[in-house]
Amino acid sequence: MKRIALVVFLATQLMACAEVGSEKWCKNMEETPKGDWTANEASDYAKHCIF
């Protein structure tokens, strides 16, 4: 049972990963409340998604 839970957890983590600056990452950041962004995320968003 623990193995199944671990596999499910790892699979969800891998699916959530997106390369910074990718279209998927930009879209995910747009859906995230701006107050929840870190300074690095805001900088990366400006650099990769706006400019």
The closest of 16, 41, 9 to 49, measured between CA atoms, is 41
Residue located via tokens 């805001």: 42
- How far, in Å, CA of 6 to CA of 22, rounded? 27
pLDDT in tens, 7-43: 666 555 555 677 888 999 999 999 999 999 999 999 9
Separation of CA 26 from chain center: 8
pLDDT-based confidence at residue 2 (cuts at 50, 70, 90): confident
Residue located via tokens 């929840």: 36
Q: What are the residue ranges spanned by the domains of the chain? A: 19-51
Provide, for the chain, the percentages of residues in helix, strand and coil under a 3-state DSSP scheme, each rounded to the nearest 5: 75, 0, 25
